Chain A
Amino acid sequence: MTGAIPPCQVAVVLASPADPVASAQLLATARRLATVAGTGVFALVTGGEGAPHPDATGADAIVRFATACDVTDPESLLHAAHEVVLRARPRVLLFAHDAAGREVAPRLAARLGAPVITDCVDAHIDAAGTLTAIRPCFSAKALSDWSVPAPHLAIVTLRRDASPGEAASAASPPPDGGLVLPSAPAPRLRVIERHAPPPGELQLEAAEIVVAAGRGVGSRQDFQTAIANGLAKDLGAAFGGSRGAVDLGIVPQELQIGLTGRVVSPRVYIAVGLSGAPQHMAGCSGARTIIAVNTDPRAPIFGYAHLGVVGDYRAVLPSLASELRRLAPAR
């Protein structure tokens, strides 16, 4: 089953099936770019014929990678994306800015000698066909615009936004199997073990609500009681902490949010006992609403927060949680 992909399109490499929102956001951006450019959108999925894949509604066609390769394996994803570019010559190739996209986009750019713009928060195409993508830089203290003129291919990764913004226009899912690509070469890295987080522990990047602890939380025990098993559990939120909290052993290192840790863009970010160092704020600048709870009214966090409570979180969080339970008992 092979066919040709119409030329001059916007191609989307769908994200992991574990994160359907990321794929939906990619497809919505792709549709917007394609409408301006007067072309169509196709979605690249992996996993072999008949394998489940993220919802590709919003695309005009699905291009399927023949072998049962894993979308989370960067090497096979690179091979698939390379084949697609060579065959279909898309104008724009979009990836999610996740672990796979971060690796594959610059590698593909090097392989093709093509321009790449990563970790973008927005992208558009003007009447002359120039693609411009916008990305934060300098620890989120600046925004930069990067342009690629037509007809050059532009490889772009988009930062995930946990806030539901653009949604793909309601349409029926596209036909599957327009083109099946050949198998990838044997992977050069052999995965021996896979470790997923404990079930129930939300992925930070995908969470709509994040509760973050700073040094002020005091101890790992308090973090567990008041946040991990307290407010975050009640809100169905993910949790993490600042570099300072990690250094003091309050928060596990893999949950560090900030310049040298994870970057989150939730709808609501609740900063508890957190001073608000610029390095930390670089990791949560995409949050729609920041709520700060801190005993020190002069803490820099209140300069970034939209809502603030001055007070000891040990008193604030329990009453916050119980009142939220009373107001929305269905939770």
Chain B
Amino acid sequence: MHIVVCVCQVPDPQAPAGSFYVDEAAMEPRWSPAAQPLLSTFDLHAVEAAACLKEAHGATVTALTVAGPEAEPGLRRALAAGCDQAVRVAPPAGAGHDRLAIAHSLAAAIRTLPPADLVLCGRIAAGWDMGHVPAMLAEVLGFPYASPVTAIEARDDGASVELRRLTVDGYEVVHADLPLVAAVSNEINEPRYPTMRSVLDAQRATITVADGAVAADATAARLTALRPRDLSAECELIDGETAEDRGMALAAVMHERGFV
């Protein structure tokens, strides 16, 4: 089985609140150095899912990204966590926010690799918070698609998988023939910490840089404004002698204002 895991790097989503601001004129986000670039959280879970399938059934795992050389630490993190090889495709010129161009670029790179049986992605990347690429990639490749996936297991026939996907009001157990694109959610596993040995091996590994970026499409939606959003509120503190009194006073306010 050949598993391709599509990954990307994002500024640390757990970085302190003050490390992010918006450059409104440039319509771009800015981060202080405190927000280190990291492999996107859900992508780490996708890498772990691939590593588990490899351990259980045997597989070759390729980590793939469409990004500049600054994304190579993320690829090395994926190698340390169980991927066998890493491929980086330079981003398409002028892609801007065109996620379909990214999906086409990933698909073009996947087609140059040995046939992929399973393509795993994280369900969304922190940042622009779109989550379009996995679904678009499935369409471009012509593969069926499952998301958000919270469990995946290869079936004995070697040509299909059993997976769990979340629905509006619960979850479903689904059988899917390979090839398949699956976008995984964090419930699927607990990503392992790479061993020192695997980190050192990953540092020495060669990252393949491939051509294949597909030009952006002019019809993508155009970003016309980006502005910071102030979520802070003026908090009205409820008075009262004891905590019980304050609970009662809160009830009165909630009742009065029609909250209940």
Residues of A bordering B, CB below 8 Å: 16, 18-19, 72, 74-75, 98-100, 102-103, 106-107, 109-111, 113-119, 132-133, 136-148, 152, 154, 188-197, 203, 209, 235, 253-254, 259-260, 267-268, 278-279, 281, 285, 289-292, 300, 302-312, 315-321, 323-324, 327-328, 331
Identify the interface centre among B42, B236, B259: most chain A CB within 10 Å of its CB.
B259
CA distance A194 to B166 in the complex (A): 10
Q: A106-B99, A110-B135, A118-B131 are in contact. Are A194 and B224 (CB under 8 A)?
A: no
Q: How far is the CB of B234 from chain A (nearest CB, A)?
A: 7
CA distance A300 to B242 in the complex (A): 22
- Is there an interface contact between B226 and A113, defined as CB atoms closer than 8 Å? no
User: Besides A144-B27, A309-B247, 9 other CB < 8 A contacts?
Assistant: A102-B147, A138-B22, A138-B29, A146-B223, A279-B13, A291-B250, A291-B254, A319-B245, A327-B255
Q: Which of B135, B174, B228 contacts A107 (CB 8 A)?
A: B135
Q: How far is the CB of B175 from chain A (nearest CB, A)?
A: 5
CA distance A279 to B10 in the complex (A): 14
Main secondary structure of the interface of B (DSSP, over half): mixed
- Is there an interface contact between A141 and B229, defined as CB atoms closer than 8 Å? yes
Asked if B227 CB lies within 8 Å of chain A CBs, one says: yes
Q: How far is the CB of A132 from chain B (nearest CB, A)?
A: 7
- Is there an interface contact between A190 and B176, defined as CB atoms closer than 8 Å? yes
- Is there an interface contact between B168 and A203, defined as CB atoms closer than 8 Å? yes
- Is there an interface contact between A260 and B41, defined as CB atoms closer than 8 Å? yes
Chain B interface size, under 10 / 10 to 19 / 20 to 34 / 35 or more: 35 or more
List the B side residues contacting A75 at CB < 8 Å. 144
Among residues of B, the one whose C-beta sits closest to the C-beta of A22 is: B168
Asked if B200 CB lies within 8 Å of chain A CBs, one says: no
CA distance A289 to B253 in the complex (A): 12
Please encode chain B, from 220 to 254, with 1 for each CB lying within 8 Å of some chain A CB and 0 for all others. 11111111110111111110001111111011111
Among residues of B, the one whose C-beta sits closest to the C-beta of A148 is: B221
Among residues of A, the one whose C-beta sits closest to the C-beta of B11 is: A138
Among residues of B, the one whose C-beta sits closest to the C-beta of A144 is: B226
Among residues of A, the one whose C-beta sits closest to the C-beta of B175 is: A190
List the B side residues contacting A144 at CB < 8 Å. 27, 128, 223, 225-227
Asked if B89 CB lies within 8 Å of chain A CBs, one says: no
- Is there an interface contact between A106 and B235, defined as CB atoms closer than 8 Å? no
Main secondary structure of the interface of A (DSSP, over half): mixed
CA distance A267 to B252 in the complex (A): 17
Q: A281-B231, A315-B242, A328-B255 are in contact. Are A141 and B20 (CB under 8 A)?
A: yes
- Is there an interface contact between B20 and A310, defined as CB atoms closer than 8 Å? no
- Is there an interface contact between B20 and A19, defined as CB atoms closer than 8 Å? no
List the A side residues contacting B147 at CB < 8 Å. 102-103
Residue pairs across A and B with Cβ atoms less than 8 A apart, 10 shown, are A99-B148, A100-B168, A107-B135, A140-B231, A146-B223, A194-B167, A195-B171, A196-B170, A303-B235, A311-B247
CA distance A3 to B76 in the complex (A): 57
CA distance A138 to B27 in the complex (A): 13
CA distance A100 to B26 in the complex (A): 34
Asked if B177 CB lies within 8 Å of chain A CBs, one says: yes
Q: Which of A136, A278, A311, A328 contacts B243 (CB 8 A)?
A: A311
- Is there an interface contact between B127 and A137, defined as CB atoms closer than 8 Å? yes
- Is there an interface contact between B248 and A72, defined as CB atoms closer than 8 Å? no
- Is there an interface contact between A113 and B225, defined as CB atoms closer than 8 Å? no
- Is there an interface contact between A327 and B222, defined as CB atoms closer than 8 Å? no
Q: How far is the CB of B142 from chain A (nearest CB, A)?
A: 10
List the B side residues contacting A303 at CB < 8 Å. 232-233, 235
Asked if B140 CB lies within 8 Å of chain A CBs, one says: yes
Among residues of A, the one whose C-beta sits closest to the C-beta of B232 is: A303
Q: How far is the CB of B186 from chain A (nearest CB, A)?
A: 5
Q: A113-B219, A141-B231 are in contact. Are A309 and B250 (CB under 8 A)?
A: yes
